[in-house]
Amino acid sequence: MRRRGLRTYVGFFVASFAAAAAVVPLSMVSTSTGPAPSGAYASDSFARTVSNGWGSADAGGAWTQVKGTASDMSVDGSSGVFTIPAANYLSAEQIATLPSTSVLNYAGQFVVSFSENINNYNPQYGGVLAYLVARYQNAASTGYYRLGLCWDAGTRRLILRTQNPAGKGQPNNWTIEQNTGIDPTKDFSSAPYSYNVKVQVTGSKPTTFASKVWKLGSAEPSGWMLTGSDPNNLGPQVAGPIGFRGSNDLQSSASHYVAYTAHIHVGSLAVGPVPGAAAGGTPTPPKTNPAPAPAPTPAPVAAAPAPVASAPAPVAPAAAPPVPVPVPLPPAPVTPAPAPVAAARPAAPVSPAPAVARPAPAPVSAAPPVVAPTPPTASPSPNPVAALSTNRSHGGQKSALSPSSTLNAASAGSSRTGHLLGLGGSFLLGTGIFAAVIMLWQRSGRGAHARAKGRRWAV
C-alpha cells in the first residue's frame, strides 16, 4: 500500500508538471503583427543640381511642391535651397512633400544653414524658419504638423518650435516652443550658420513631439530640448506624407516686411522609424516575460497532501471496536464474559467466556422436571434466574444472558426451552469466536500496523 501510494503521488506530480509545460508556451505566443520597418522612410543627400523644384530624393520618391512658387526651390549639388522674399507667412511659405511616403510616427534629422545674418536687417518681428513636415493632409490650419528651427527676430536667438499650420494667435492654433539661448553670431564669425536638428513625432490622440538642436560639428545633446503633446488633436491623427517647409516673415514693424530674401539650405535629410514604434503608430509589443511561467508548479505540490489526508479515513473504522466499552459496566460475576469483547486486546479474558456459558444451562435444564409435574411449584425454579435478572437490571445494563433468562422463566415446555438455550449458546459461541479473531488480528503484523497508523493519525 505504501509503495502504491508513493507511485500514485509521483504520477500526480509528474502529470501536473506536464500540464504546466503545455500551458506555459501559450502565454509566450507573440501578438506582434511584424517587426517595425527597417531603414529610412525618406532620405536625401541632395547630390544633384535641380532648378524649379527639388527633383527626386535618394529614398522616398519625387519631391512635389504643394505650396509656393517653383522658382523659389532648387538643388545646388549639396543642399535643397529655399529662396524666399520676406512676406506674410501664409504667402511666403514654401512646402514640398514626398507623396509616396505615408507615416504616422517617425524620427527625423537634417542640417539647416542660414546664408545671411538676419541681424543686419534689424528685424523686430517674425523669423526665418526651416521645418520638417509630418502627416501632411493639406495646407489648411490643421492639415499637418511641422517641427523645426526658427531664427527669431525678436530675441535674435534660435527657437525650437512645433505647431500646426494655423499660426500663433490664430483660431485652431497649437504651438509649443523653446528658446534655446543659441546666438548663431556667437557660434560662427560669418555665414553660413549651420546646425543639426533632430525631431520626433509619435502616437495619436494625443500626438507627442520632441526636438533638439546643436551646432554642426559639435556633440549632440543627450536629452531633448523641447517636448510636448497636442491634447486637443489640432493636427492629423493619421499617417501622411513626409515633407519640408521654409518660410521668411521678417518684419521691421507690425505688418512691415523687411526687404530681404532669405536663402535657407537643407542637407543630410534622413527620416526613419522611432525606436519602439512602428510606422503606422503601433508600438512594438514588448516580449512576454517568461519569469511567471514557473508559477503553476506549486499547484501540484500543494495538491499532493490531499490524497494523504484521505488515507486515515479507512483507518478510523479499525479503531471502532472499542465502541463495546459500555459492556464492562456490569459488576461482579457477569463482567468477565463481555470484558474480552470490550477490550479486544488481552487474550486471557477470552477463555473464561466458555466457562461461564456452560454452567448457565445446568440450572435451567434441571428446572423442567420440577415444572412438568406440578405447575404451582415452577416459581422456585425461576428464582435464581430472576435474581440474576434483577441484579443486572440494577446495574442499568442488559448483558448477553439477560434475554435468555427472561424467556426461560416464562417457558412452558422443555422443547421451547431447549431452542432458546440453543440460541443463547450460539450467541455466546459467536461472541467468543469474534473475540478470538479480534485477538489474533491484533497480534498479527497487519493489525499492529493498523494500530500504529491509527495512533499516528490520531496524534
Give the Å distances, CA to CA, from 155 to 125, 178, 183, 186, 223. 9, 12, 9, 14, 23
What's residue 436's pLDDT?
Answer: 73
What's residue 275's pLDDT?
Answer: 84
Q: Which residue carries 425454579 as its cell?
A: 381
What's residue 23's pLDDT?
Answer: 36
Dihedral (Cα; 395, 398, 400, 403), 10-degree rounding = 120
Q: DSSP letter at 118?
A: G
Q: What is the mean pLDDT of residues 308-312?
A: 41
Is a pLDDT exceeding 80 seen at residue 344?
Answer: no
Q: Which residue from 243, 228, 70 is spatially nearest to 144, judged by alpha carbons?
A: 243
Q: In whole numbers, what is the pLDDT of the chain averaged over residues? A: 71
What's residue 84's pLDDT?
Answer: 96
Find all residues with CB under 8 Å of 100, minimum gap 6, and list them. 60, 61, 62, 241
Is a pLDDT exceeding 60 seen at residue 304?
Answer: no
What's residue 236's pLDDT?
Answer: 97
With residues binned 3-state (H G I as helix, E B as strand, rest as coil), the percentages for the chain, rounded to 5, are: 35, 25, 40
Is a pLDDT exceeding 50 seen at residue 83?
Answer: yes
Q: What is the mean pLDDT of residues 203-223?
A: 97
Is a pLDDT exceeding 80 seen at residue 266?
Answer: yes
What's residue 433's pLDDT?
Answer: 73
- DSSP letters of 33-56? -SPPPPS-SEEE---SEEESS--B
What's residue 90's pLDDT?
Answer: 84
Is a pLDDT exceeding 70 seen at residue 223?
Answer: yes
pLDDT single digits (tens) 6-61: 444 434 443 443 444 433 333 333 322 233 334 799 999 999 999 999 999 999 99
What's residue 451's pLDDT?
Answer: 53
What's residue 424's pLDDT?
Answer: 61
Question: Which of 20-24, 215-219, 253-257, 445-449 is least confident?
Answer: 20-24
Q: What is the mean pLDDT of residues 363-377?
A: 42
What's residue 315's pLDDT?
Answer: 40
Residues β-bridged to residue 176: 162
Is a pLDDT exceeding 80 seen at residue 196?
Answer: yes
Find all residues with CB under 8 Å of 338, minimum gap 6, and list them. 324, 327, 328, 330, 399, 400, 431
Is a pLDDT exceeding 70 seen at residue 356?
Answer: no
Is the distance from CB of 149 to CB of 213 less than 8 angstroms? Answer: yes
What's residue 277's pLDDT?
Answer: 72
Q: What is the mean pLDDT of residues 207-214?
A: 98
Q: How far apart are CA 423 and CA 117, in angstroms?
A: 134
The larger pLDDT score, comparing residue 362 to residue 64, is at 64
pLDDT single digits (tens) 374-426: 444 444 444 433 433 444 444 444 433 444 444 344 444 444 544 444 556 65
What's residue 338's pLDDT?
Answer: 43
What's residue 99's pLDDT?
Answer: 98
Q: What is the mean pLDDT of residues 182-193?
A: 97
What's residue 174's pLDDT?
Answer: 97
What's residue 57's pLDDT?
Answer: 98
Is a pLDDT exceeding 70 seen at residue 272?
Answer: yes
Give the Å distances, CA to CA, from 251 to 45, 84, 125, 248. 33, 14, 5, 9
Q: How far apart are CA 77 and CA 50, in angstroms?
A: 8
